[in-house]
Amino acid sequence: MPFNIDKALGIFPQALSLHARRAEMLAANLANADTPNYKARDIDFKAALQSALQSNQSMASQAGAGGMKRTQVGHIGIDSDMEAMGLVRYRVPNQSSLDGNTVNAEVEQAEFTRNAIQYQAALTFLGGRIKTMMSAIRGD
Amino acid sequence: MSSFNIFDIAGSGMRAQSLRLNLTASNLANAESVSGNAQGVYRPREPVFAALLERETGNDTAARVQVLGVIESNAAPQMRYDPGHPLADEKGYIYLPNVNVVEQMANMISASRSYQNNVEILNTAKQLLLATLRIGQ
């Protein structure tokens, strides 16, 4: 039975990169907390993770059959364009402000902290998987 | 590397907020700067922020803060009758900037809180990146 490293690592690599993207987005929300007409955005995490896993599977199955690849900068991305796939949503503000800004700093900060902890959890699980493989390789 | 985007984003937020803090300091410091005519009087300044989307890098989901410029308030200066003042005009008036101290203080607190938020984000992102570097050890 061929051993597949991607399978051994589970969903954690995809989860990590999604958490990183989400951290970026929440950081942008907080940085723009005083920008007029800025609308706070967030990733639909569950749907994004599912689509990342699916595209990973289809990429793996297409890799032998010469699947679509991005070989030039001008090509439209097939996997990274989360906005086009409707995975980026605008946050519904719980109180409106006169300048059209929908950032609620407390909400964003709570979400950022939660996301950071989830990132660290995924990182710990991934490290555990790697350690498991290492001990299997060493055999001691 | 996309993880370093957070540093750019939070950095742009800090830059914008520190400009706002600087302008508030300037407004408060010049609140009593007297002028002899209505044209030469200090006018309160305020920054204009806008979100900068990064279309060219393909990563247009996260926006940095861009400072579009600094505007000067066009509120009429305050006139005070003080004929003994060396800068008073022929009618005995001196001109004071229309700085609302309460407004400026609120602005200052808001700017410093936003700055702190960005510093917090930066620290968390740094910790996460360092933890990522230690993966599998």
A25 inside 8 A of chain B by CB: yes
Q: How far apart are CA A36 and CA B48, in angstroms?
A: 9
pLDDT digits over A7-65, tens only?
Answer: 888 889 889 988 998 998 899 999 999 999 898 989 888 888 888 888 777 665 555 44
pLDDT in the model for residue B52:
80
Q: Do B27 and B99 contact (CB within 8 A), yes or no?
A: yes
Rounded to the nearest angstrom, the minimum Cα separation between B10 and chain A is 6
Whose CA is closest to B41, among B95, B99, B90, B91? B95
Whose CA is closest to B113, among A1, A18, A37, A103? A103
Q: Do A25 and B62 contact (CB within 8 A), yes or no?
A: yes
pLDDT in the model for residue A53:
82
How deeply is B120 buried, as exposed, middle or buried, from its count of CB atoms within 10 A (0-12, 13-18, 19+)? middle
Residues of B with CB under 8 A from a CB of A: 2-3, 5-6, 9-10, 12-13, 16-17, 20, 49-51, 58-65, 110-111, 113-114, 117-118, 120-121, 124-125, 127-128, 131-132, 135-137
pLDDT in the model for residue A71:
63
The single-letter code of the amino acid at B7 is F
More confident residue, B19 or A53: B19
DSSP for chain A reads ----HHHHHTTHHHHHHHHHHHHHHHHHHHHTTT-TT---EEE-HHHHHHHHHHHHHHHHHHHTTT-----STTSPPSSS-TTTTT-EEEPPPSS--TTS----HHHHHHHHHHHHHHHHHHHHHHHHHHHHHHHHHH--
pLDDT in the model for residue A64:
47
Pick from A27, A38, A88: CB nearest B9:
A27
Tell me which residues of chain A, numbers 53 to 92, contact chain B at a CB-CB cutoff of 8 Å.
Answer: 77, 80-83, 88
pLDDT in the model for residue A66:
47
Q: Is the dihedral of CA B123, B126, B132, B134 positive or negative?
A: negative
Q: How far apart are CA B80 and CA B70, in angstroms?
A: 28
Q: How far apart are CA A15 and CA A29, in angstroms?
A: 21
A99 inside 8 A of chain B by CB: no
Token pair in block for residue A106:
């407390």
Distances (CA, A) of A104 to A15, A78, A109, A111, B117: 25, 32, 9, 11, 12
Q: Tell me the average pLDDT across A94-117.
A: 91
pLDDT digits over B51-83, tens only?
Answer: 886 655 555 567 888 899 999 988 888 899 999
**Average per-residue pLDDT in chain A?**
82
Phi then psi for B67, rounded to 5 degrees?
-95, 110
pLDDT in the model for residue B36:
87
More confident residue, A124 or A83: A124
User: How many other CB atoms sit within 10 Å of the CB of residue A112?
Assistant: 23
Q: How far apart are CA B112 and CA B133, in angstroms?
A: 32
Cβ pair B136:A112 closer than 8 A: no
Rounded to the nearest angstrom, the minimum Cα separation between B73 and chain A is 17
pLDDT in the model for residue A48:
86
What are the chain A neighbours of B12 within 8 Å (beta carbons)?
31
- Angle in degrees, 0-180, between the axes of helices A12-31 and A45-63, rounded to the nearest 10: 140
**Average per-residue pLDDT in chain B?**
88
Distances (CA, A) of B38 to A111, B42, B44, B46, B88: 50, 9, 14, 20, 11
Give yes or no for residue A90 having a pLDDT over 70: yes
Name the helix (H) or strand (E) containing B96: strand B93-96
Cβ pair B16:A20 closer than 8 A: no
What are the chain A neighbours of B10 within 8 Å (beta carbons)?
27, 30-31
